[in-house]
Amino acid sequence: MAQTTLLIKTFFCYILFTSVIACQNNGNNNNMEKSYGWRAMSSAPPGYPIGVYSGGFISKDGFLVSLYGPIVSDEHWGEAYSGLDYGGTIPHRLEVTWISFAEDCEYEISADLDYQKIEQYFEEGTLNRNAYGDIIPDKYDQIVAGFAPGGVVSVWVSDGGANVREVGHYQGKKVHIPREETENLEPSEKNWFSSEYRKEIMQRPAAVPLEIQEKNKNKPIPYGLWDRYRNRYHWKPVFTLPEGAELYDVSFTYLNGQTSDLLYPDVSTLPEEYKESNVLPRFAGIQYTTKEGVNKVGVITFDEEEIMKKFEQFSPEDTLKLEFRINRAETMVVAYLEGKGKLIGINDDTKARVKTTKNTFKRK
């Protein structure tokens, strides 16, 4: 009898133990974060190279996805470069120390990321058009940190370029890295902390293209510009094509580093970002087919100061239209800003042209 009682007690203890373990495992599984697989990238404004000395994206459990390395750009703010490290789960923090060569100083940022916003974009994914003209689901697979003069930091998610969304904007602070800490670094990295070397970097065409060096010559660093890029207005695009022409896809690059595509046949149905307010465009590529069946693309690159000043004539609450008009000769794109009874051209310093393309516009 005693032996039977012992067996029963042992059996119930076993059941209780396995139940506890099962509950713990279930709890651990519920707490596990989803792994997406993404690449850590960096960005710097053209003409303002930096070097990431330490740090990067930090996961919830403290895992570092490094952003270490030099960063130069001859493209626009938000263009992703220097991606060497990969992550799995979505990062929760950004902790970076970097050198600003143009300012001859060091900065650091320690900030919480908008984990929910990043997760939302990763879950939703994107739509892109493949080489056969089909619209296919795609995914965000890059997280980009951009570092601008004044300690300004922006963070974007990207699918490789066609769709880029800002998910954070932060302010870093100036710091001084003790030179005894850098004394034993490798020469290639130790040079970053030499004022003479920093000046030399600013004169290298590989770091700052000659065109940008000439443009910035004797001009102060435009502090505040990268915050100004983020100003939003209630505008929507309108496309006026030659008679009989049919609109296809439209691509935008924005001042704050974002990009987006309006894909045929949904190009006439504007996405959410135009229903409320949006940042201003830097570039637009407008694909269309003429009535003769020739595929063309109109491209317009705005002078950033011109388009900002034209929009600044209105308040962010005004309802505006930004019209892209292909001229009758189909040689260029002209842009007009319309609102409050005004029609304002944005063409003084803007570069625009129309060209024939061999791309096949597949309409279904």
Query: Per-residue pLDDT for 283 more than 90?
Result: yes
Query: Per-residue pLDDT for 351 more than 80?
Result: no
Q: Single out the residue of 330, 324, 322, 357 nearest to residue 242, CA to CA.
A: 330
For 363, list phi and psi in degrees, rounded to 5.
-105, 140
| 8 A C-beta contact, residue 142 and residue 149 | no
Find the length of the chain.
364
**Strands, sheet with 295-301, edge to edge from the N-terminal-most edge strand:** 81-89, 35-43, 142-148, 152-158, 164-171, 259-262, 246-254, 281-289, 295-301, 351-356
Query: Per-residue pLDDT for 28 more than 80?
Result: no
Mean pLDDT, rounded, of the chain = 88
Query: Per-residue pLDDT for 230 more than 60?
Result: yes
SS3 string, 251-271, reads EEEECCCCEEEECCCHHHCCC
pLDDT digit string (tens) for 58-110? 999 999 999 999 998 878 999 988 667 788 999 999 999 999 999 999 999 99
pLDDT digit string (tens) for 133-160? 899 999 999 999 999 999 999 999 999 8
Query: What pLDDT score was predicted for residue 270?
Result: 65
pLDDT band at 267; cut points 50, 70, 90? low
Q: Single out the residue of 361, 161, 155, 141 nearest to residue 261, CA to CA.
A: 161
Token readout for 254 is 């924005």
Query: Per-residue pLDDT for 7 more than 60?
Result: no
Mean pLDDT of 2-30: 41
| 8 A C-beta contact, residue 320 and residue 339 | yes
CA–CA separation, 154 and 177 (whole Å): 23
- Per the model's pLDDT, the better-predicted residue between 312 and 266 turns out to be 312
Query: Per-residue pLDDT for 347 more than 90?
Result: no
Q: Single out the residue of 65, 42, 53, 144 nearest to residue 99, CA to CA.
A: 53
CA–CA separation, 280 and 305 (whole Å): 11
pLDDT band at 202; cut points 50, 70, 90? very high
CA–CA separation, 167 and 151 (whole Å): 17
Query: What pLDDT score was predicted for residue 24?
Result: 38
pLDDT digit string (tens) for 246-257? 999 999 999 999
| Pair type for strands 234-240 and 319-326 | parallel
For the chain, percent of residues with pLDDT exceeding 70: 85
- In angstroms, how far is CA 182 from the centroid of its own chain? 32
- Per the model's pLDDT, the better-predicted residue between 77 and 25 turns out to be 77
